[in-house]
Amino acid sequence: MISRRSIVAHLTIAAFAAFVLCLAAQPAYAQRPVARAATIPSPKSVLGFTPGDDRTVADWSQITNYFARLDQASDRVLVQTLGQSTLKRPLIVAFISARENILALQKYKDIQRRLADPRLVAGKLQRDRLIADGKVVVTISCSIHSTEIVASQMSMQLAYELATAQDDDLREILQNTILLLIPSPNPDGIDIVANWYRKTLNTPYEGKEPPELYHHYAGHDDNRDWFMLNLKETQLITRLLWHEWFPQIVYDVHQQGSNGSRFFIPPFYDPPNPNISPWLLRQVGLIGHKVAADVQAAGFKGILTNALYDTWWHGGFRTAPYYHNSIGILSEAASARLMTPSTVTGEQLARSATRGMRNATEATTNFPEPWAGGAWRPRDIMEMEMIASRAILSMAAKFRTNYLQNFYELGRKSIEQRTKPDQPIAYLVHAGQGRDEAVAKLIASLVGQGIEVYRLDRELHVTLGPQVLQRTNSLGEKLGAYRMTIANAETTEVPLGCYIIFLDQPQRTNVTTLFEPQIYPNRLTAQGEAERPYDVAGWTLPLQMGVDAPAVTMIREGENERRLTRITDANQVRADLALPVARGDESPIKNPVKQPVRIGIYKGSTSNMDEGWTRYVFDTFNVPYSSARDADIRRGNLHANFDVLLFPSQRSTEIVAGNAAGSLPAELTGGITEAGVNNLKEFVNNGGTLVCFDAACDLAIKQLNLPLRNVLEGVRSSEFYCPGSIVSLDVDNKNPFASNLPTKLPAYFINSSAFATTGDGVRVIARYAKENVLLSGWLLGEDKLRGQIALAEVTVGKGRVVLFAFRPQHRGQTWATLPLIWNVLSNAAASTSEER
Ligand SMILES: [Zn+2]
């Protein structure tokens, strides 16, 4: 959650010596000294190597030190510290532009704010003036995924090149654009990877990825947090981009696997998200083709467009811009082995297939010149990323007024009223649902990304709807439909204290995309198998969070009869709802587990994002736990330390075997082993509680011979497929694990499990609904899921096993199902203390 107070706190804490100068210069950009050092240090002169050299890596302190040096030496560069990362490293952004623009940043920030919100522009004359005066703001963000390390190194070279440029092309870029260069939105990960790389250099493990999450909680999912804003990094950068600078173009620099195309750049693959403006999709394609042409012209081969990556999902660094009327660009360079060169054979390329590319050796229109294979170096990656960055900046500079005008126009269309009477004009979020923490978090996420939310200070009379949401194609054929939970043509009174989110705001498409159910098109391969989406198919935020948020189609009160207060701060909502208010960095949420219980969360030798998100949720709710490592489980006598052992979703073979011997240094290999399995059996038989999420249930079912089987095991994707969607549960709320919950609950299903009994002794707490299972996303073969077990408890000896067939804490977003976890833990504590 973002609060102004905590950001101010971040700024004061982050008083790193190297940044004192630039921090002091922050409040008034215009006060920066004009005279600068004559020589601008090259990265090589500071680091001792050129970024991108084989087998070199700059860590975070080297990167921030270089940018601090550049800030001091160049009047084209101004570095700002945004705050601190999760593990307390400074998160920085470098503003790069012509000297006169840097001196007038405040002026351009103000222009951007107005262009982003046409309600702040007084007529056409002022609009034209803003467009004539404005600069295109471009964000380039490097290495959000830390093992995709090269871009973070590239950022220094790019900054240096722009700071020293004398040629006409780069001068035009400096004149017409303001670059917000983020060397990495995940500083902690840069150090995790750099330290690991140095440690393993010249060993058999050189170039391998570190066997730990490169973000403390999220790992790779740090690029799935951009509407939820769970992570500090997301919060800080979202504030920079969508409260302060409103970039017209955002370029997110990534790397992909080693053996396929050398470089992916948009246009993207299907399906497009229907809420993204077609103009934006065209601009994404146009810039992508410019990049592809420039990279190709520089002699690189293996450039791929229109493949694999799509615009369906929300929540990525480059997908969030689409819902802020901005252009999001992704590039994916083929990886080397961290900073070590690799060799790719023709055979490997021939075996590499993906959506939109049959293999990496065959020329097609979207892949016109395959690469023959051979040596692949970090330098290749860096050069392509440099060319792409220049191409994007050059487009921004050459078509400056076009980008500014269209950005403004998208905002203007967003604030227009709807055209059809049955279309929603707003969404309501009811307070007092008994889910106040979830309501507070939902509102904080919305406000954090710049969405306008109002509190009702007087009741409203509204018509709710629509009853059914449908999508049809241009022939009128039905693509899918959902029944909304609330259907009422009558006028309803909404009490004061509730929240309302109007659609006639610049972020209209963001609100729509977060609130309405997703209807993912039924996409099958020629063989009839499900075609895998790039990421999840459904994410409807109020559903995930279990918060009732009906659409409003009519409001009886006219505009001047309404009494509304704009919510600008997360703590304001918490105060409204009488929840404890955040102080500093501490999460203000009260531990919901009713009795003390010693919890171990299994953390194996392989990196597991589901484990990280579990810790995130426990830390956020202030539920104490410790990590149970492989060695702890192998050692046994688990009762001495734990009442409950929780296994986040992970394949049982991975839990038991861990990293294979020889693949990594010995201390990082091996899982819980057979000895650990036996210790788990003993733990449960003697009164312990074993809780398993999703894939980890398999371990308990098979090793403890539970009378259950996963009905989805081995089922082909032509018969059943559900890739990241929200499904409906029927809940037995007389069971203590489900007390205080509604009988219908939305749950997150991501290629998850469903159980049937094979014997007696299973207490079922929740089943997948008997009909209308899918609430948002894509579900192929619904009959396989109907009525099957979603949450069960089995007594084993003196203890018990609790099996969640789905992920109750997925990405820290599924607040609807978190109470199930807290109830299980509260009752585990009760049973443990009874037995003592
Ligand atoms: Zn990536």
pLDDT confidence of 37, banded at 50, 70, 90?
very low
Q: How many A from CA of 143 to the centre of ligand 1? A: 7
737: DSSP letter: G
Handedness of CA 207, 209, 211, 217 (dihedral sign): positive
Ligand 1 center to 332 CA (angstroms):
7
pLDDT at 589 over 90: yes
C-alpha 252 – ligand 1 centre gap (Å): 9
What pLDDT, on a 0 to 100 scale, did the predictor assign at position 477? 63
Amino acid at the residue 75? D
Q: Ligand 1 center to residue 810 CA distance, Å?
A: 19
> Measured in angstroms, how far is the CA atom of residue 221 from the centroid of ligand 1?
10
Q: How far is the CA of 266 from the centre of ligand 1 (A)?
A: 15
CA–centroid distance, residue 333 to ligand 1 (Å): 9
Q: Give mean pLDDT, residues 648-666.
A: 95
* Banded pLDDT at 582 (limits 50, 70, 90): confident
Q: What is the distance in A from the centroid of ligand 1 to the CA of 689?
A: 37
- Per mean pLDDT, which range of 470-474, 511-515, 738-742 is the poorest? 470-474
- What is the spatial distance between Cα 437 and Cα 590, in angstroms, rounded to a whole number? 10
**Is the preceding peptide bond at 267 cis, omega within 30 degrees of 0?**
yes
Tell whether the model's pLDDT for residue 761 goes beyond 90: yes
Largest CA distance in the chain: 82
Rounded to an integer, what is the distance from CA 82 to the centroid of its chain? 19
The average pLDDT across 488-506 equals: 90
In the predicted model, what is the mean pLDDT of residues 468-477?
60
- Residue 19 is predicted with a pLDDT of 37
Mean pLDDT lowest for which of 82-86, 483-487, 492-496, 760-764?
483-487
pLDDT of residue 732: 98
Residue 1 has pLDDT above 60, yes or no: no
* Structure confidence at residue 466 (pLDDT): 65
Whole-number Å distance, alpha carbon 148 to ligand 1 midpoint, is: 6
Give tens-digit pLDDT for 197-240: 999 999 999 999 999 999 999 999 999 999 999 999 999 999 99
Q: Does residue 480 have a pLDDT over 90?
A: no
What pLDDT shows up at residue 5? Answer: 37
Read off the amino acid at residue 255: Q
User: What integer pLDDT is reported at residue 208 of this predicted model?
Assistant: 97
* pLDDT interval class at 417 (50, 70, 90): confident
Q: What is the pLDDT of residues 7-36, one digit of tens each?
A: 333 333 333 333 333 433 344 444 554 444
Q: Are strands 599-603 and 626-629 parallel, antiparallel or unpaired?
A: parallel
Buried b (16+ CB within 10 A) or exposed e, 472-483: eeeeeeeebebe
Q: If you measure from the C-alpha of residue 255 to the centroid of ligand 1, how many angstroms do you get, rounded to a whole number? A: 5
Ligand 1 centre to CA of 620 (Å) is: 26
Q: What is the mean pLDDT of the chain?
A: 92
CA 94 / ligand 1 centre spacing (Å): 22
Ligand 1 midpoint to CA 145 (Å): 5
pLDDT above 90: residue 242: yes
**C-alpha of residue 468 to centroid of ligand 1, in Å:** 37
Interval between CA 813 and ligand 1 midpoint (Å): 21
**Distance of alpha carbon 130 from the chain centroid:** 33
Q: Which residues pair with 792 in a beta bridge?
A: 764, 803
pLDDT at 485 over 60: no
Q: Write the pLDDT tens digit of every residue in 96-127.
A: 999 999 999 999 999 999 999 999 999 999 99
For the segment 374-381, the average pLDDT, to the nearest whole number, is 98
Report the separation in Å between the CA atom of 51 and the middle of ligand 1, taken as the mean of its atom positions.
20
**pLDDT tens string 256-284:** 999 999 999 999 999 999 999 999 999 99
pLDDT at 575: 94
Mean local confidence (pLDDT), 815-821: 98
Tell me what the mean pLDDT of segment 327-336 comes to.
98
Reported as a pLDDT band with limits 50, 70 and 90, residue 481 is: low
Quote the ligand 1 centre to 273 CA distance (angstroms): 20
Closest by CA to 119, choosing from 502, 515, 514, 429, is: 502
Q: How far apart are CA 513 and CA 507, in angstroms?
A: 10
